[in-house]
Amino acid sequence: MTGWVDSRVPHASGLLAARFDHIGDAFAGNFAEGLELGASFSAIIDGEMIADIRGGHTDRAREEAWTENTLACIYSSGKAVLTLLVAHEASYGRLDYDAPVAGYWPEFAANGKDRITVAQALSHQAGLCGFPNEMAPQDWLDWETITERLAAMSPLWPPGTANGYHPQTFGFIAGELLRRAAGRSVGELIGRFNASDGLQIFCGMRPSEIARAAFMPKPPKAPDLGELNEFTKIAFLKPWSAAARVDRDAWMAAEIPASNMHADARSLARILQPLVNGGKWDGEAYLTQEAISGALKERIRGDDLVLPFHLSWSAGLMRNINGHFGPNENAFGHAGFGGSCVVIDPERKLTAAYVMNKMSPFLVGDPRALRLINALYDGL
């Protein structure tokens, strides 16, 4: 890789493999068209980092440069990290995709949830897409409050009969499973990568990390959720559907794993590598092939009850049947509110991540990300 700069991108920096120069052109094109404030993009192929570029600004006034230490909220792209962490616990027999959630979390069995499996919960089949009864939005900052409500809740549809995206509750279900299996919170599990391998991924941030977080302008309009139904309203549109109107620092300090992880693109691309390289992390076994297969196996396919898409879900990832994550329909990915995304392609031994701070209204398949992903594949 060689140093990368581009006059079309303010404060451009990073590294780019020569045969992938068009990734830099795509990145610069997003800036030239006024689509970005600040962003980063990274890609790894067969263990080789072939792109790690960034540029733009982190603040409203466009005075602070986006650097290699900048963090941005990745919203639901963090669900891919949760997928990896669950697969690790499955690799060592502490979790089983086909076992009931209640086998690890007995309280979860209440009100007809005793047969919901780990795989069903991670593929959005549990019928727990949100809370139908009014609650204080700040309750999302309290782990015990949310997990107790999930354990006591009745499913909103018969579990296992349909997929309906769980935007917030997914993270608490996966996180509580991880806490009970591994004895650590999501933030603590990620923290081990940060401490030993220099990654920058956080779920629950300290003041020093909050200080590095980019300002994120909200989308110019609301996402298109299609024809609204009660499930969509509960998941997204109730005043309590997310942690609205709460203190920004308190929100970033809390662990809300499905929606408030912060990261840079390089760290996201790196942490997901075991899903495509046979389970290795820095040359050591991290995932078993059985666990990888369990994580990536299709669990359900159908019209989503919450999102306006026909989707195929693995145990935590979207299977790329709609081309939301580039040209390979056998790849996997996840997108985050506002535009971030990750791509996991075992056929190409490829992982890629796009992180930005100027948010768009696209639920998935943001054109900025697709421009970069398609440029990546053009070089293969």
Question: What are 246-279's pLDDT values in tens digits?
Answer: 999 999 999 999 999 999 999 999 999 999 999 9
Q: How far is CA 58 from the centre of its chain?
A: 21
How far is the C-alpha of 114 from the C-alpha of 145, rounded, in Å? 20
Task: Provide the 10 A C-beta neighbour count for residue 155.
Answer: 17
Mean pLDDT within 71-77: 98
How far is the C-alpha of 18 from the C-alpha of 339, rounded, in Å? 27
pTM, two decimals, is 0.98
Block residue for tokens 């540029």: 55
> Which pLDDT score, from 0 to 100, does residue 174 have?
98
Percent of the chain with pLDDT over 70: 100
Domain boundaries, the chain: 2-378
Helix H or strand E segment including 89: helix 78-91
What pLDDT, in 10s, does the model give residues 144-182?
999 999 999 999 999 999 999 999 999 999 999 999 999
Block residue for tokens 């993270």: 171
How far is the C-alpha of 140 from the C-alpha of 262, rounded, in Å? 17
User: What is the chain's length?
Assistant: 380
128 touches 166 (CB < 8 A): yes
Where residue 79 falls (left for φ over 0; alpha for ψ -120 to 50; beta otherwise) is alpha
**What CATH number belongs to 2-378?**
3.40.710.10
> Which pLDDT score, from 0 to 100, does residue 1 have?
85
- Give which of 24, 41, 63 is closest to 264, Cα–Cα: 41
